[in-house]
């Protein structure tokens, strides 16, 4: 790891761990388009691992779903930063948003698997749900904190905007891949 980009990537990884631990913010990351691309690529790892343990219905296309998630996030946070009159924070903010997804990958993938595996087991349903919910809430807190740091807005608004990004992504995916309609049982 002697080239400058490798050193930058290593330092960014440490900063992303700090962001996940609420000790750093996106302002501690370098503003680098190469680093943003690396964070985007690394953020697909949890999706790929989740797809490996939870196959999707045939009508869903994982590459399209991942592309929708990436584009929606880029546009959403870019628009928020423009609205906040902070477009210069785009690279650092989005590097943090995508980078924490990679840092949280082990927890996201494990709790996703645990939830899917034990959601029908009466004894394990509650622990599986609580564990998954805790990881999702932690990810939401981190995203809202990144957004608050980038915009200076109130935390409640940042939480709401982070949730809205996730909802918008799911709605777009659902509109691209509508669920098949099953005929009602004749009676």
89: Cβ contacts below 8 Å, ≥ 6 apart: 26, 27, 81, 150
Residue 187 pLDDT > 60, yes or no? no
Three-state SS for 11?
helix
pLDDT score, position 180:
66
Summarize the confidence of residues 20-34 as an average pLDDT: 96
Summarize the confidence of residues 67-77 as an average pLDDT: 96
What pTM was computed for the model?
A: 0.89
pLDDT score, position 4:
83
pLDDT in tens, 117-135: 898 899 999 999 999 999 9
pLDDT in tens, 87-116: 999 999 999 999 999 999 999 999 988 998
Rounded to 5 degrees, φ, ψ at 178 are: -65, 145
- Name which of 65, 83, 87 is nearest 161 in CA terms: 83
Reported as a pLDDT band with limits 50, 70 and 90, residue 186 is very low
Q: How many helices (H) and strands (E) does the chain have?
A: 7, 0
As a 3-state breakdown, the chain gives helix, strand, coil percent values, each rounded to 5, of 75, 0, 25
């Amino acid at each position: 790891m002697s080239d400058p980009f490798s050193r930058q990537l290593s330092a960014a990884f440490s900063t992303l761990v700090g962001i996940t631990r609420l000790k750093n913010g996106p302002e501690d990351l370098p503003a680098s388009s190469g680093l943003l691309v690396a964070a985007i690529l690394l953020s697909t790892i949890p999706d790929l691992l989740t797809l490996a343990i939870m196959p999707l219905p045939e009508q869903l296309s994982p590459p399209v779903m991942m592309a929708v998630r990436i584009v929606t996030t880029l546009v959403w946070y870019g628009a928020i930063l423009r609205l906040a009159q902070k477009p210069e924070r785009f690279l650092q903010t989005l590097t943090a948003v995508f980078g924490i997804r990679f840092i949280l990958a082990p927890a996201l993938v494990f709790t996703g698997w645990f939830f899917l595996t034990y959601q029908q087991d009466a004894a394990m349903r509650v622990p599986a749900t609580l564990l998954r919910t805790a990881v999702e809430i932690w990810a939401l807190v981190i995203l809202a904190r990144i957004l608050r740091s980038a915009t200076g807005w109130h935390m409640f608004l940042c939480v709401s905007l982070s949730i809205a990004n996730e909802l918008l992504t799911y709605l777009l995916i659902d509109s691209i891949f509508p669920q098949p309609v099953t005929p009602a049982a004749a009676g």
